[in-house]
Structures are given as C-alpha cells and as structure tokens.
Amino acid sequence: MGVDNKIDIKNIPVEVYKPDPDKKAKYNPRDRIYVRAVKGLHQTLRRNIGFVFMAAFMLLPWLQFNGQQAILLDIVEQRFYIFGLTLWPQDFTILAWIFVIAAFALFFVTTFYGRVWCGYLCPQTVWTFIFMWFEEKFQGTRNQRMKLDQEPWSFNKLWRKGLTHFSWLAFSVLTALIFVGYFTPVDQLFIQFFTFETSFWAAVSVWFFAFCTYGNAGWMREIMCTHICPYARFQSAMFDKDTFTVTYDAKRGENRGPRARKDTDYKAKGLGDCIDCNLCVHVCPTGIDIRNGLQYECINCGACIDACDDTMDKMGYAKGLISYTTEHSLEGKTTKVIRGKLVGYFMVLVAVCAAFAWTLVVRKPVVMDIVRDRGALFRETDEGLIENTYTLKVINKSQLEQTYRLSVEGLDDAQWIGEKELTVKGGETANLPISLSLDPVDAKRPVLEIEFVLQDSDEPDVRLTQGSKFFSAR
C-alpha cells in the first residue's frame, strides 16, 4: 500500500464526566401547575354538579331496600344487587348494555359539546377539584402557595403542608371505604376497618384505592388527563367544525397587550381586546394557554371563560373573548347543530337503549335448572314402576321472597314424589330433589321428552318451563 493511500488518524479527546459529590442534583419530573381559584357561571355549575355526584357516590351504598343494602356488587357470591334487581352471571349482558350505552352517550356528548365529561363529571377532575380546595384552605392562594414552596422549611411551612397531606389522605381513605362498600356490606366494613377486624382482602382493597386516589388527585392530577387517559387521544376523532369547544377568538383578541383601563383608543394602536393578563393560563387545571388554539389537553371546564369574562367586565369590554363556540362560528359561517355524525350517534344510542329496555322486559325474575341423577338413568321400584330422579335448582333473581308451584308436562300418568311447592328467599338459590314414577305400560318410548313447569304463586304471569328427559326400561 502506497503512502498516498494512508488514512489520516485524528485524535479525539474524550472528556469523562465526574459528578461533584458536593453538588445536589435537582430532579423535577414536571413543572408544577399552581391553579388559581376563579368564580363564575361555569365554575358554579361545575362545583354544583360535582357536589351532586359526590353526594350520590357517598350516600348510595348506605341506602337500604327490603332490609338489605340497596346497591351491593357481591363479586364473591357472583350476585349484583341493584335496588329491586338481582343480577347473576347469566345476566351480565345487562351490564354490557349499560357500558355500551355509556360509551355512545359519551360519543354523542363529545361530538356536540366537546370534552365536557372531563371538565364536569370525570371522577379524576372532581377529586382533583376537592384536593385543590384543601390545598387552598391550608396553603393559601396561588401566589401564596408559590411563595410557600420557595421558602425554606419552617414550622409554618411544615404545619401547612402537613395538614394538606393529612386531609388528602383522610379523604382518600374515606373515598376508598365508600368505594369498597359497593362490593361488601358497607356498615360492617366501616366498623371492622376502624376496629382492625376487617378481612385481609378488604383491607388491601381499601389501602390500594386510597393510595391511588391520593396519588392521582394529589400528585399526578393533569398527568392523568394529558398522558394516561386514552379519551384525550381519541376524542379528536369525534370533533368537527360544528363541535362546541372552549375557544379563544383570535380575530377579536389579537394583537394582545396591556393597556390602561380608561384607554379607549387601544384599537388605533393595533391592540385587540386581550390585555395579556394570563389569567386564562393561571386558572387552567392542565396548564395550557387556550390562546394557542384547540389542544387535546383542554378538558372544557370553562375556567378560562370565567376568568376572561371577569377581566372583560372590569375593562368594560364585551364578554365572550373566550367562549363555548364552534370553528364555523368563528369563521362567520352557520353552525350546523343537527348533522350526520351527531344524528348517527343519537340513533345508535336510541337503538342501544331500546335493546337494553327490551332485555329488562323479557328478563325472567326466576331461573330453573334441571339436574338428573348421574348415578343411574332410571330404576325399578318394588311396585314395578320406572323411577327417574331429578334435582330442581331454582334461583330467585328478585329481592323478595317468592313461592313457586312445580309440575311436569308430557307424563300425564306419572307420579310426582316430593314437594310441589317451593319458597325461595330473595336473591337465594334452592335445590329441590324430586322423583317421577311411571308404569312401564304407559312408557311409549325408551326416552320421553318432558317439561318441568314453574309458576309464581302470587304472579301467575311469571311462568317458566324447562325441558328434560324421562328414561324408561323399554
């Protein structure tokens, strides 16, 4: 190889990073959002709706119906009690219909009015709103909280932070107890939990959900809405130019800039109605600037609308710089409230609701299963009769005690051996062993098709038949 073909080698110095042990590294996974409190129409509505649903969540497990907990989702016994309705595993299609209805109702509302579910009804939003209320009561306003976090640790900071987290934990435990109370008798749960007599799994469930509530509403907050919740990602597929969303009117607001309140000649200076006070950013629970356009992080809570309307009112300008409006409206076009996509979701929602109602109407409040004697198909009695043995399993799916009359069709000359009337408590299962005897002369075939009939003594319309077979010696 010649000298001219050699490749030049260049020495590259490598600098090795050595951490300084005297320097403390600062790690901040996110810039904390200090949400400013705001009053207004939308926040009043949001607070009242949250209060109603929170009260319903807290009180429903304590309601009694026919002497027992009105709503009890007993997973261990595989029975769901919902007032007068008892759902068994074979009734889970009803729960499936409920989930489908909820999904299409969400699609319909989102197409019409954006992400209002997130802003007004989502449990994550409601619980975060409550936790922020505790934070404000103990640590002060937005500016006071920011100042407190910048201060060195002192007794004042310690007791304020301590009471804040104590209230978060206490409310989280209360929330977890109520939630677990939907799946186990709530009155016993509260007594056993505070007397340390609760079962292992009940205690684990309470502390698990308490930890989740404390972490989600106290620490993660908007991270749940912007990064974890899948609804934030696919909601845009339901939006169109006629969807009402929280929107900033850039044509009216720009160019933004500060000015004196008495300055009536601001438009001649090239300024719009936005005074760039940034209150819309300060009150946003997800920390976005709505003036940058529609963003998937926006939960349509309307906090920025109330803050902006209050500022416009003080400045003497017309309200509505930020409002629930549509893209077509901002472009000066007519908003089409009734449109194909919205009508389609509505029609599917109506159809699903009708199917759900039909499922409830045709649902029988009682179930009967026939279990034959597995030891023998038949046996001959001392009288020379052919006898088949069955066990009738009757499930009372209502929450009231019922009495049923039992009979058989297809064996006119058969002798019924056993009880012909059965009383079953609400939500319970009863097994009734019976035998059918038949003269061999009356057995026309080796296998006879028969039907057991169950009829409610108090409600003649409740009648149930279940097919089975009678085996003879011939």
Q: Domains in the chain, ordered, with CATH?
A: 240-330 (no CATH), 366-471 (2.60.40.10)
Number of residues that make up the chain = 474
Under 8 Å between Cβ of 293 and 239:
no
pLDDT of residue 18: 44
pTM equals 0.79
For residue 172, give the nearest of 139, 218, 109 by alpha carbon. Answer: 218
Question: Angle CA(255)–CA(256)–CA(259) in degrees, nearest 5?
Answer: 120
User: What three-state secondary structure class fits 291?
Assistant: helix
Query: In the chain, pLDDT over 90 holds for what percent of residues?
Result: 61
Q: Nearest Cα to 80, choosing from 67, 97, 65, 95? A: 95
Read off the amino acid at residue 436.
L
Tokens at 241, concatenated: 């130019």
Per-residue model confidence (pLDDT) at position 300: 92
Query: What mean pLDDT is predicted for residues 173-190?
Result: 95
Q: What contacts 275, CB < 8 A, 6 or more positions away?
A: 256, 257, 258, 259, 311, 315
Query: 215: which DSSP letter?
Result: I
Q: Tokens at residue 403, please?
A: 């009495």
Q: Give the per-residue pLDDT at 473.
A: 66
Residue 9 has pLDDT above 70, yes or no: no
- pLDDT tens figures, 376-421: 888 888 888 899 999 999 988 887 889 999 999 988 888 999 999 9
| Predicted pLDDT of residue 309 | 96
**Contact of 327 with 241, CB cutoff 8 Å:** yes
